[in-house]
Amino acid sequence: MFVKQGGQYTVYLWGRRVRKVPHSPRRAQFIFRLRWANGQNKEEIRKQALESVENGRRSAKAMEDLSKRYPEVYRYLCKPRFSRSGSYSQQRVKTLEEVFARQDHAANVRVLEAYAAALIQEWRYGFFETEFDLTENSGFDADGNLVLLDFGDIALDKTEVERIIREKRWLLDWSYTNSLPKDLRKPFARIMADTLTLANLKRHWGAALQPSLSEQS
């Protein structure tokens, strides 16, 4: 059953899982023209759509490789199953948007702290989700673990992550300016500023990675 359609994937319910089917470049361009044109010309839209498709493919491949090597990453990504076609499925979970709607302020602040801590864990495995759409792209699994639902825009380069930290890009995202409850915006800004620092990045980046067999030989 159809759930939603983004710039990179169309999402379907698939039993107790969700299935994400990647868009072709042509389909992505059509969606970008329909939703995010904002006065841009066709060439600009084409470049953005192609970049989005390529980012999705690159990110999915990187997460497939990491989830095969590290059980912690596999669980964090909602136990994904990848196909040769480029699609993948994940366990269905509760989004943070659903969680925030059911809890009081203090409990929701603790969720924000857990979200920031999860980003540090991403750094330990050498990646960083750069969209910060936490209300839709993060959630809790059946065991109460904070998980990442959408990994279509992953940074794998430490220099890029440093730039994101300096820009505090999480304050520019749609979740922060629109979907995050207003009473959580100041706590979110504070928690992220305190947690996502250059010093923490230096301390944690790649700390959990183990040498591959090819690197050991």
* Candidate from 35-44, 109-118, 143-152 with smallest mean pLDDT: 35-44
- pLDDT the model gives residue 211: 80
- State percent of the chain over pLDDT 70: 97
Whether residue 10 has pLDDT greater than 60:
yes
- Predicted local distance difference test score (pLDDT) of residue 212: 61
CA distance linking residue 35 with residue 4, whole number of Å: 13
What is the rounded CA–CA span in Å between residue 150 and residue 161? 18
Give bridge partners of residue 90 from the DSSP assignment: 18
| 145 Rama class: left (phi>0) / alpha (psi -120 to 50) / beta | beta
Half-sphere exposure of 85 (CA within 13 A, CB side): 10
Domains present along the chain, CATH in parentheses? 1-87 (no CATH), 93-217 (1.10.510)
- pLDDT, average across residues 28-44: 84
Instruction: Give the pLDDT confidence score for residue 216 in this predicted structure.
Output: 41
Mean pLDDT of all residues in the chain?
93
pLDDT category at 213 given cuts 50, 70, 90 is: very low
pLDDT of residue 41: 85
**Whether the model pTM is above 0.85:** yes
pLDDT mean over 91-97: 96
Residue 202 has a pLDDT of 98
pLDDT tens, position by position, 38-82:
777 889 889 999 999 999 999 999 999 999 999 999 999 999 999
With bands split at pLDDT 50, 70 and 90, how would you rate the model's confidence at 217?
very low
CA distance 43 to 203: 41
pLDDT recorded at residue 40 = 79
User: Which H/E stretch holds residue 155?
Assistant: strand 154-155
Over pLDDT 90: what percentage of the chain? Answer: 84
Q: Would you state the structure tokens that stand for residue 130, as one six-digit string?
A: 């750069």
Give the mean model confidence (pLDDT) for residues 86-111: 97
